[in-house]
Structure 1
Amino acid sequence: MSVLSPLTFAKSLVPEAGPQRMYVTSSFVGTVGGGIMMPISVLYFTRIVGLSSAKVGLAFTVSSLIAILMSAPAGALADRVGPRRVVMGSLALLAASGLAYLLVQNFLTLLVVNACMDVSFAAYFPSVGALLRRVGGEQTVTIRSQSRAVANIGVAFGSLVSGAGIQIGTAAAYHVLIVLFGAAQTAALILLFRVPDYRPLPRPEKDSPDDDHPGPAVDAAPDPKGIALRDKAFVAYALVGGAMTVQSLILEIMIPVWIVGHTDAPSWGVTLAFIINTALVVLLQVRLGGSVQTLGDGGVALRRAGIALMLGCAAISLMAAAPAWAALLVLAAGMALLTLGEIWYASGTFAFDYGLPPAYAQGQYQGLSGTASGAARAVAPVFLLGVVLDFGSAGWIGLGAIMLFLGLTGPALARFGARTRPAERADGTGASATAIPPAANSPVGDTA
C-alpha cells in the first residue's frame, strides 16, 4: 500500500539532495515558464500586437529553420567549454528574447525576436543533455525520466496560469504572462549555480604510426572533430528517432483539429486528451523509463513505442464514425495508447542518446540528434495537417503504420550500436559507450 501512497510517488519523482535535485528543479521551473508561453505565443501577436496569422506563421517557420542550424554547434561548444556555461547562456538569452516580445511591433521585429527565442532553445537542449550526463552519472537515464515527469507537471501548472491570463484577455494580462516567462527562465538559470561547473572532458587525440610502432595503430582513438557524423550507428538512430519525433505533435496539432473538424465529439474532448496525456506521463514515465538502462532496453522500448502508436492511431481513426459518447470513449483509449507510445519512445531515445556517445562528445551527439528532430518537427505540421488529416481515418492508419515500421527498427539499431562501439583504451581515453570516466564528474570549482 505504501508503494502507491502519494508521498512515496512524489518522492520517486525527486532525486536525492544535491546537484541532481538542483538540475531537476531547474528543469521544472523552466518548464513552468514554457507552459505559460506556449498557449499565448501566437495569440499575443495576433490579438494584442495585431499581426495577421499568416505573418506570424511565416515568422515562426523561418525562425525554426534558422534555429535548426544552431543545435549541433551548440552541442559541440558545450563539450569544449563545459555544459553548464552553455545552458546558462541559453537560459539568459531565452529570458531576454521572451521579454523582448514586449517590444515587437511588426513582422521584422517579430522575426528577429522569435529567431533569438528559437536559437536559445536550439542551444539549450543539446547542452542541457550534456549537463545531464555529467550530473546523472550512472543514474543518467533515471534522472532524465524524473526530469521529464516533473517537466510535464511544470507545463501543466504554467498552462493553468496562462489560461487565466487568456481568459482576462487584456494587453496587460498578456504582458504579465510574458514577464512571468522571463522570470521563470531567470530563476532556472540561478538554480544552476548550485550545480557544479564541470570542466570539459579530455578529448583523445587521433593516433598515428610512429618509428617505434610502424603501421596502423591498434584501437586508435577516433578524431574528436565531427565524430558524431562519422558514427554510422548514431546517424541511423538519429534519423529514425528524429522521424518518430512527429508523434510528439499528434496531441499538439492533430488531435484538436481532428476532434473539432472531423468527429462528433464535444470540443472539450481536446482538454480531456491533454489531461490524459499529462496524467499518464507523470504517473508512468519514471516507472517505465527507469527499467530502460541499456542499448538493448532502448531498442525494445522503441519497438514497444511503435506498436503502441500504431494501436493508438487506429483507435483514434474510429472516432470519425462514432456518435459523441462513443467518440469520447475511443478518444480516451486512443490517448492512453498514444501516451504509452510517447513514454516508451522517450525512454528508448534516452538509452540511445546516452548509451552511444562517448562522454567527452555528449553535446556534439545531442546536437546531431537535435538537428534531426528539429528538421522533423519543422516539416511535421505540413505533413500531419496537409496530408494525414486530408485522408481522414485512412490517414491515421497510415501514420500509425509509419510509426510501427520505425519502431520495429529499434532492436536492430541497438545491436548495430553495441557492435560498433570502440573498445576503451588502456590509457583510459577510449570512447566507452556505456560508462562515464571517473573524471566526468569533476567540476571546475566547488558547487556554488
Structure 2
Amino acid sequence: MGSAFAEPGVQRTFVVSTFVATIGGGIILPISTLYFIKIVGLSAAQVGLAFTVSGLLAIPLSVPAGALADRIGPRRVMMATFAGHSLVGVSYLFVQNFWMLLAVQMLSAASLAANYPASGAMLRRIGGDQAVTIRSKIRVVANLGVSLGSLIAGVGIQIDTATSYRVLALAFTLTQVASLAMLFRLPNYQPLPRPEKEADGSEGAPSKRIALRDKAFLAYSLVGGAMAIQNMILEIMIAVWIVNYTDAPGWAVTVAFVLNTALVVMLQVRIGAKIQSITDGGTALRRAGFALLLGCAAMSLMAGVPAWAALLLLVVGMVLLTLGEIYYVSGTFAFEFGMPPAYAQGQYQGVAGAVSGAAKAAAPALLLGVALSLGSTGWIGVGAFLLLLGLTGPAIARWGERTRPSGEITEAQTAATDASTGSASPATDVV
C-alpha cells in the first residue's frame, strides 16, 4: 500500500488528501437520494430533478475554474472546492424542500466541477514528468476510498434512522475538512509565465482561451468525453441488466463491483506505468475500445441462459470491461497531461472535464432508455460505439504530437519557476 500512496513528501500528501476525500464520496453517494426521499420526505422525481439540473448547470464552470487555477495557483481553487463540499454536508441537515435541495446540489456540483481541473493543475506541478504515473496511483486509492466509504454508509443505511443518515452526512463533512487541512501542507504554487509568442511564432502571448483553440485537444476531448460513458456502465447499467434481464442471482451485482475494484487496484498502476506519452495514450484508447466491445458482447450473452452460465459470463464480461476501463483512463491521463502546456494545465483539464461531464449527464438516457430497451442488441451497440471512438485514438495522438509547440515551458523550467517564487520542490519538500 505504501507504493500506492506515492513517495513521502508532497506527492504522498496530495494522494492521501484525495484518499480521505473519496472516503467521503463513498459515504455520501449511497445515502444522498435515500436521505432526501426517506428522511426529508421529497419525492423521487424531485430529487432526480434537483440532481440532474444542478449537474447540467455546473458543467460550464469547469473551464473557467481551470483557467482560474492557472492564474492564481491551483491550491487556492482546490481549497475553495473542499470548503464548498464541507458546507454541503452540513447543509444536508437543514434541507426541507425542493428549492433548498437544489441550492445545496448546485453547490455540490459546482465544487465537483471546479475540483477536477484544479486538482489536475496541482498534480502537474507536483508530479512533473511523473504526473501520469501518480494519477494512476491516485485512481487506485480513490477506488479504495470509495469502497471504504460505501462500507461505512452501509452501516448507517442498515440502521435506517434519521440520526444515522445525519451522522453520515457529518462524517462526509469531516472528510472534506480533513482533506482541506492537508492542502495547507502542499506548496502554494504560483502561476507559470506564458511564452512571449504564439505557438505559430507570431508576436503576443497565447490566448487565455488557448485550450478552446487547440483543435487536436478538442478532438481528443470529444472522443475521450464520449467514451466516458463506459464509467456509467458499471454504475447504472449492469445492476438493472442483472436483476431485470437475466437469471443471475441478485448478489451478482456485488460480485461485479468487487471484481472491478480488485482489478483496478491490482492493474491500474502496472498498466498505467507503460502509458506515458501522447502516442501511448492513442494506443491505449484503441485497446480500450476492443476490450469494451468484447466485454459488452459477453454481457449481452447473459440473457436467456441458466444462472450459472450468466454468472460465468458476468465474470468474463467484468474482466474485459475493467481492462477496457483501465486502458481508457490511462489513455486519458496521457492525453490530458501530455498535450497541455504547463502554464494552462487547469484550462485544458477544464475543457476535458466539461465534455466528459456532459457525456455522463447524457449516459442514463442512452444506457437505460435506449440500450437496455434493446436488450442484448443494445449491449452490442454500446460496445460498437465505444470501439469506433477508441479506433480514432492513434490518429488524434499523431495530430496532437504534430501540433505541440516546440517552445512551450518544460518541466525543468516549471521547477525553476517554483524555486524562484519560493514554492517547495516536489523532490525536496518532505512532509
Which of the five TM-score ranges fits, normalised by the shorter chain?
Answer: over 0.9
1:186 aligns with one of 177, 184, 197: 177
| Alpha-carbon displacement from aligned partner over 1:205-239 (angstroms, at most 9, x marks no partner) | 4469xxxxxxxx84656523110000000000000
2:62 aligns with one of 52, 58, 71: 71
Check the 8 A contact 1:288/1:344 in 2, yes or no.
yes
Q: How many angstroms does 1:99 deviate by?
A: 1.5
Question: Does residue 292 of structure 2 align to residue 301 of structure 1?
Answer: no
Could you say which residue in structure 2 is the equivalent of 1:410?
Answer: 393
Look up the SS of the partner of 2:302 in the other structure.
helix
Q: How many angstroms does 1:145 deviate by?
A: 0.5
Question: Does residue 39 of structure 2 align to residue 48 of structure 1?
Answer: yes
Could you say which residue in structure 1 is the equivalent of 2:380?
Answer: 397
Gaps of 5+ in 2: none
Q: How many angstroms does 1:14 deviate by?
A: 2.2
Question: Does residue 430 of structure 2 align to residue 439 of structure 1?
Answer: no
Could you say which residue in structure 2 is the equivalent of 1:419?
Answer: 402
Alignment of 1:79-158 (within 5 A): 79-158=70-149
Could you say which residue in structure 2 is the equivalent of 1:162?
Answer: 153
Look up the SS of the partner of 2:187 in the other structure.
coil
Residues of 1 paired with 2:254 and 2:278: CA distance? Answer: 36
| Alpha-carbon displacement from aligned partner over 1:285-321 (angstroms, at most 9, x marks no partner) | 0000011110111111111110100000000000112
Could you say which residue in structure 1 is the equivalent of 2:309?
Answer: 326
Residues of 1 paired with 2:163 and 2:245: CA distance? Answer: 36
Check the 8 A contact 1:359/1:440 in 2, yes or no.
no
- Cα distance 1:269–1:200, how it changes in 2: closer, same or farther (>3 A)? same
Residues of 1 paired with 2:287 and 2:90: CA distance? Answer: 41
Check the 8 A contact 1:224/1:361 in 2, yes or no.
no
Paired residues in the alignment total 425
Q: How many angstroms does 1:440 deviate by?
A: 5.3
Check the 8 A contact 1:306/1:341 in 2, yes or no.
yes
Check the 8 A contact 1:138/1:436 in 2, yes or no.
no
Residues of 1 paired with 2:382 and 2:198: CA distance? Answer: 46
Could you say which residue in structure 2 is the equivalent of 1:6?
Answer: none
Q: RMSD between aligned alpha carbons?
A: 1.6
Alignment of 1:164-243 (within 5 A): 164-206=155-197, 218=201, 223-243=206-226
Question: Does residue 239 of structure 2 align to residue 256 of structure 1?
Answer: yes
Look up the SS of the partner of 1:11 in the other structure.
coil
Could you say which residue in structure 2 is the equivalent of 1:211?
Answer: none
Alignment of 1:252-291 (within 5 A): 252-291=235-274
Check the 8 A contact 2:194/2:205 in 1, yes or no.
no
- Cα distance 1:254–1:85, how it changes in 2: closer, same or farther (>3 A)? same
Residues of 2 paired with 1:195 and 1:350: CA distance? Answer: 22
| Runs of 4+ residues over 6 Å off in structure 1 | none
Residues of 2 paired with 1:431 and 1:65: CA distance? Answer: 34
Provide the identity percentage.
61
Alignment of 1:9-28 (within 5 A): 10-28=1-19
Residues of 2 paired with 1:444 and 1:113: CA distance? Answer: 38
AA at the equivalent of 1:176 = V
- Cα distance 1:222–1:336, how it changes in 2: closer, same or farther (>3 A)? farther
Residues of 1 paired with 2:252 and 2:198: CA distance? Answer: 60
Q: Under a length normalisation based on structure 1, what TM-score does the superposition of the two structures give?
A: 0.92
Residues of 2 paired with 1:36 and 1:187: CA distance? Answer: 15
AA at the equivalent of 2:310 = A
Residues of 2 paired with 1:61 and 1:34: CA distance? Answer: 18
Q: How many angstroms does 1:384 deviate by?
A: 0.7
| Alpha-carbon displacement from aligned partner over 1:388-410 (angstroms, at most 9, x marks no partner) | 00000000000000000001111
| Alpha-carbon displacement from aligned partner over 1:333-383 (angstroms, at most 9, x marks no partner) | 101110001100000000000000000000000000011011101111111
Q: How many angstroms does 1:30 deviate by?
A: 0.3
Could you say which residue in structure 2 is the equivalent of 1:340?
Answer: 323
Q: How many angstroms does 1:445 deviate by?
A: 4.8
| Alpha-carbon displacement from aligned partner over 1:146-200 (angstroms, at most 9, x marks no partner) | 0100110000000000001100000000001000000001101111111111001
Check the 8 A contact 1:310/1:397 in 2, yes or no.
yes
Residues of 2 paired with 1:151 and 1:40: CA distance? Answer: 19
AA at the equivalent of 2:266 = L
Could you say which residue in structure 2 is the equivalent of 1:3?
Answer: none
1:29 aligns with one of 17, 20, 23: 20
Q: Under a length normalisation based on structure 2, what TM-score does the superposition of the two structures give?
A: 0.96
- Cα distance 1:259–1:440, how it changes in 2: closer, same or farther (>3 A)? farther
Q: How many angstroms does 1:61 deviate by?
A: 0.6
Check the 8 A contact 2:196/2:203 in 1, yes or no.
no
2:345 aligns with one of 348, 362, 382: 362
AA at the equivalent of 2:8 = A
AA at the equivalent of 2:42 = L
Residues of 1 paired with 2:422 and 2:331: CA distance? Answer: 32
Gaps of 5+ in 1: 1-9, 209-216, 425-429
